[in-house]
Amino acid sequence: MSADLAKPHVLIVGGGLGGLMLGALLEKAAVPYLIFERATIVKPLGSALSLGSQLLPLLEQLGIKDTLIAQGKRANTSKAMTESGETILTMDYSTMEEFGGYSKYVFSRPLLYNILLSLVPPEKILFGKRVLNISEDKDKVTVQTADNSEYTGDILVGADGAYSAVRQRLYERLKQEGGLPRSDQEDLPFGCTCLVGQTDPLDPEEYPELKDPDCHFVGTLGDDQPYTWTLFSTASFTVCWMVMHHLDTVSTKLAHEQRFRQSENSEWGSYAAQTMCDETRDFPIPFGKEKLTLGDLYDKTPKDLIAKVMLEEKVFKTWHHGRTVLLGDGAIAAMQDALALANLIYALPDNSSADIEKAFKEYQEERYDPAVAAFKSSQMLSKIMNRGIEGKIAVMVSQNMPLFLWKKFVRKLVLNRPQAGFLPPADDRGTAPPNVSPSSEKARLVFERRAAGAATGSATV
């Protein structure tokens, strides 16, 4: 079959980091696609993002690693301290570069978003497109948007976050057919709410930490209140900040919406964000020459770039059905999902339902265990940051961990460093061999076969 005829048309719902990464990769692979984003304008929210060898080789392949690192800060250490200023835990990640070939860097999330957005041609991302419905037959999948437009493709990717419209529509259909596991029918739980933002550029004389070439990455645990707050200095003389409220009990978005249903004050809108700012503005921060508080940072942060979000705690069992597939939530997980999916889409023999479903099954098999591991790691971090008994035990264990065990832990963090099989590979500089990525290897074999065919004048795959 002709390589051009075999390329599927991919519909991507969601223009966040995962959707943009998938679009950027499909652009490099010359696979046709469209991205649908419900927002009408680009307004990248969020705080900082820590990246190392788990994604930097891929960003090197895409040609954006150097640009990103030039605007980031090396983050070889992070520190946890009490509200009263006592350091209780320092974590040294300097061996990451030895094991994985790349140091750990901190970037502002909006920076990475804008760089990825620059890799997607403007005509391939459609804003103001809220998905209302999806339908599928044997050969095609169709998306209907709120403006009464319809778009048809071979593959539909839900990259629209934890409360994905694509997931909801897919799960509704599977539930009616009796094919949805009970655990996937339960509400998405969360144990924390989170306030995030990034200041405007600050005066380094007032905030001397900004002069340091390395990132100041400091988490503070509230002494007598269920809050933790983390600050990250950036190369652009801003401070990214994140404030977490640890709830007494695990809740769900539905439960909170029901509580606030009769009120004009949305639990997740600008009013709620401002309320949380007011509740936490007197908390002290370990930044600045004077005794400063979170309120000093809030006052220097554009109000429309402050957001209150939930930190959901769940790994779904159902990732795909028919011609529809879902990316995970969370920045790094979503981008690694996008990479595995792009490799498998590139390597598709044809656009038949059987081959697409086989590729989706391989995608879930490759990415499910890393998703579970990331979930468990997030749970452990939450325990460390929580002032409860489990948090105190976790801190004590971390404080007394032998060096060889810590190095073993850090080594494990850098083993998953996949690449795009259809792009020239980035040099692997790490001393620890990377885990095998089946999707990367499959795409590499197809890429080499197509290159050999092109050299001999053959158009077959």
pLDDT at 89: 86
List, for residues 133-148, the tens digit of each pLDDT value.
999 987 899 999 999 9
pLDDT at 261: 34
Q: Which pLDDT band, with edges at 50, 70 and 90, does 186 fall under?
A: confident
Rounded average pLDDT over 68-86:
91
- 190 vs 184 pLDDT, higher one: 184
Question: In whole numbers, what is the pLDDT of the chain averaged over residues?
Answer: 87
Rounded average pLDDT over 206-218:
94
- In the chain, the N- to C-terminal Cα span, in Å, equals 7
pLDDT at 104: 92
pLDDT score of 182 more than 50? yes
**In the chain, what percentage of residues exceed pLDDT 90?**
62
pLDDT score of 3 more than 70? no
pLDDT score of 160 more than 60? yes
Which superfamily, per CATH, for 3-184+314-456?
FAD/NAD(P)-binding domain (3.50.50.60)
Contacts of 399 (CB under 8 A, 6+ apart): 88, 89
List, for residues 232-265, the tens digit of each pLDDT value.
999 999 999 999 998 876 554 444 443 333 333 3
pLDDT at 48: 86
- Tell me the angle at which helices 331-346 and 438-456 cross, rounded to the nearest 10 degrees: 40
pLDDT score of 284 more than 50? yes
HEC profile for the chain? CEHHHHCCCEEEECCCHHHHHHHHHHHHCCCCEEEEECCCCCCCCCCEEEECCCCHHHHHHCCCHHHHHHCCEECCEEEEEECCCCEEEEEECCCHHHHHCCCCEEEEHHHHHHHHHCCCCHHHEEECCCEEEEEECCCCEEEEECCCCEEEECEEEECCCCCCHHHHHHHHHHHHCCCCCHHHHCCCEEEEEEEEEECCCCCCCCCHHHHCCECCEEEEECCCCCEEEEEEECCCCCEEEEEEEEEEEEEEHHHHHHHCCCCCCCCCCHHHHHHHHHHHCCCECCCCCCCCEHHHHHCCCCHHHCEEEEEECCCCCCCEECCEEECCCCHHHHHHHHHHHHHHHHCCCCCCHHHHHHHHHHHHHHHHHHHHHHHHHHHHHHHHHCCCHHHHHHHHHHHCCCHHHHHHHHHHHCCCCCCCCCCCCCCCCCCCCCCCCHHHHHHHHHHHHHHHHHHHCCCEC
Contacts of 299 (CB under 8 A, 6+ apart): none
Most confident of 45-49, 336-340, 368-372: 336-340
pLDDT at 252: 44
pLDDT score of 390 more than 80? no
pLDDT at 253: 47
Give how far Cα 125 sits from Cα of 38, 117, 122, 232, 320, Å.
Answer: 11, 9, 6, 31, 23
Delimit the domains of the chain by residue range.
3-184+314-456, 189-312
Beta bridge partners of 243: 195, 229
Q: Which pLDDT band, with edges at 50, 70 and 90, does 415 fall under?
A: very high
Lowest average pLDDT, out of 177-181, 389-393, 450-454, goes to 389-393
Q: How far apart are CA 408 and CA 402, in angstroms?
A: 10
pLDDT at 267: 39
**In the chain, what percentage of residues exceed pLDDT 70?**
87
Q: How far apart are CA 142 and CA 351, in angstroms?
A: 15
pLDDT score of 154 more than 90? yes
Q: How far apart are CA 334 and CA 16, in angstroms?
A: 9
Give how far Cα 391 sits from Cα of 88, 221, 398, Å.
Answer: 12, 10, 11
pLDDT score of 383 more than 70? no
Nearest C-alpha neighbor of 451 from the set 459, 340, 437: 459
pLDDT at 263: 33
Nearest C-alpha neighbor of 339 from the set 3, 14, 28, 1: 28
Rounded average pLDDT over 175-200:
87
Lowest average pLDDT, out of 177-181, 312-316, 384-388, 420-424, goes to 384-388
Lowest average pLDDT, out of 188-197, 258-267, 295-304, 333-342, goes to 258-267
pLDDT at 448: 93
pLDDT at 4: 46
Q: Which pLDDT band, with edges at 50, 70 and 90, does 37 fall under?
A: very high
Most confident of 3-7, 46-50, 51-55, 376-380: 51-55
pLDDT at 380: 64
